[in-house]
Amino acid sequence: MSHPHQEKLDDICQSIVSQLEGRDVEVDRKFIDFVVHLLVRDMRLGLLKTDLSKPSSCHIKTFVDNIINGYLDNTNTTMANLRLSWIMKTGHGIQLSYVREKYENDYQNQLKLLIDDILQYPETCSKVQLDQLFSKMQVFIVATNHLGCPKNHVLLKLAAMALNSVIGRSDLQNYVLKKKYHRKEYLQRLADTVAGIVIYNNDGPDGDRENVRNIIGDLHMAQSNTSAAFETALEYLKELSTKCQTTISDQLQFDCKNAVLYYRMSLAQMERVNQFTITFNMLMRCLVALQTSYEHTAYLVSVETGRYECVVAKINATLCMRSSIESELVFPHFVYLSKVWANLNQYFNHIVELNKLRERLEAQVPTQMVDRAKETILEIQELGKHQPAMRERTFDQLMESLKQYQTDGNFCSLAQADIKEFCALAMALTNGLLLPAKVLRKLCMNLDIKFGFQDETYARIGEIWFERFITALRQSIFNNANLALLFKLDHILIAKEMLPAPVERPKTKNFRGQTEMVITNDLAPANWINVTWNAWDYHRETIHLAEIRKRQTRDAQSKITYGKRNAQNQTYNVRHHLR
């Protein structure tokens, strides 16, 4: 399903991309499509009042210029919201499974040349070739288990000592006699065992921390820094959002008894501050999503760290009991230790990817935008002081003013959005101004939607004026691109439009078969005159003849059953035949 005026929107997207590329600006066409399809529905920046079947060139030019200027302005809140949403949609690093697969594929591609080099040694290896093979195995063990830098000669020496304790010169000669696929499997098991030995030998306070990687210490440092970064950023954004909401709240006064709204500054002026409120809350929600993923990974780290300590204790207990240890008794513990080490390394990679995503998200709200928000707050406060008399409008007038805009957003979609954090009545009356909610109410029993209100009187208005309230709330959210992004409703509006256009099936099929009528009970030879036959005709004719033979067989069996034919010689009984 595409937009009713998809061709016009495609032309707009192409125009924007061309102008940005003309200014040597790197641009993603998919992102521009996302921006255009969403902003065209915005009541302030979009084309809701323009007939796209016969668009005004002036309106189209203004729309395109607004998008280009916003794209180039790093303090533009709407473009910041669009970028935040796009990063969360395309940033797969938030998923642990994706990070694990990505890093594993990268390491396999990097080690492919080394693995092929190890496997290519012939069965008749000289002493020099075996020494080369032994050295390459050391590099492979260090690299594949992320023990440190493969160029570190001290680490390679430690790996050589561990490798020499597992496989000797004669065993190495036997290794090259194996089939190639057996060699690769054995090489992986050998690497896990040797890596486990290196990890165990350097565990504890006496380990070589300068040359062998300490994944436990790296994880502790990464967790500490990541937790502090999330807490600091969220606390700072919460403070900024509170300042913006307080500024708006000071300019408004809701009289729920008389259903009247009093305000000093115009709603359009307060919308300037509200845009920053939306952006700060948008970034907060994105960071909370990353923090949730991080906390899940941190829990897995704690579990895996416990396994690490457990297997190290098990190896200590095994080695303390006897002076001579069978390899079959202790080597499986080293293999398991290397597997735990690999899991810890994957969790570390996930934390690194989460921090990269966090930095990308925070970069969308630079200090210039924060400074601009503070300046706007001071400006609104100063202008409010020079407006002692408050203007007023009834709730009914405010809700009726939104009916001039149409939207294809469905009210039921609000069940998927988290809107209970903000006062729903304030959004419906002020066309999207965000004020904090303190009371939750479920106004519609058919849907699991909880609305937030500032107090009980606000909730009562929502119950009494339910139909008008819901209509106004729906218009204020779905016709505001910033709110749609904040509540993650943008995909509901444009998901079907962003899909590739389906290919229409042809009305007539080009079927390479005979289309003549076939008589089902005719055993006469087919008419070959002026008829073109192909494989399908022969196939169909074979099935046709088999079907006729099947019917004849059934007919003969029925005659035998009823005594009309002799079952021994298949001849007709004279008595029945003469009837």
- Angle, in degrees to the nearest 10, between helices 96-119 and 180-201: 120
The DSSP 8-state label assigned to residue 565 in this structure reads B
* 38, two tokens: 């969403």
The count of other CB atoms within 10 Å of the CB of residue 520 is: 9
Query: Residue 402 carries which DSSP code?
Result: G
> 3-state secondary structure string, 282-329?
HHHHHHHHHHHHHHHHHHHHHHHHHHHHHHHHHHHHHHHHCCCCCHHH
First CA to last CA across the chain, in angstroms?
A: 71
Measured CA distances, 391 to 239, 384, 400, 428, 499 (Å): 29, 12, 18, 18, 47
CB 158 within 8 A of CB 198: yes
Amino acid at 187: L
Domain ranges for the chain: 6-72, 121-201, 215-385, 407-498, 513-579
CATH of domain 215-385: 1.20.1270
Contact present, 17 and 24 (Cβ < 8 Å): no
* Cβ atoms of 287 and 357 closer than 8 Å: no
* Dihedral over alpha carbons 473, 476, 481, 484 (to 10 degrees): -10
Sign of CA dihedral 546, 548, 551, 552: negative
What string of pLDDT tens digits covers the 579 residues of the chain? Answer: 456 667 888 889 999 999 999 999 889 999 999 999 899 888 888 887 676 677 788 888 999 999 999 999 999 999 999 999 999 998 887 888 889 888 888 888 888 888 888 888 777 778 888 888 888 888 988 998 888 888 888 888 888 888 888 887 667 777 766 666 677 888 888 889 899 999 998 887 777 778 888 899 899 999 999 999 999 999 999 999 999 999 999 999 998 888 899 998 888 899 999 999 999 999 999 999 999 999 999 999 999 999 999 999 988 888 776 665 666 778 888 899 999 999 999 999 999 999 999 999 999 999 999 999 999 999 999 988 887 788 899 988 888 888 777 776 677 777 778 888 999 999 999 989 999 999 888 877 777 788 889 888 888 888 888 888 888 888 889 889 999 999 988 888 886 565 555 555 655 555 455 444 445 555 555 555 445 556 777 778 888 888 887 776 655 555 555 556 565 555 666 554 444
Whether the pTM exceeds 0.75: the reply is yes
Give the span between the Cα atoms of 186 and 541, in whole angstroms.
Answer: 58
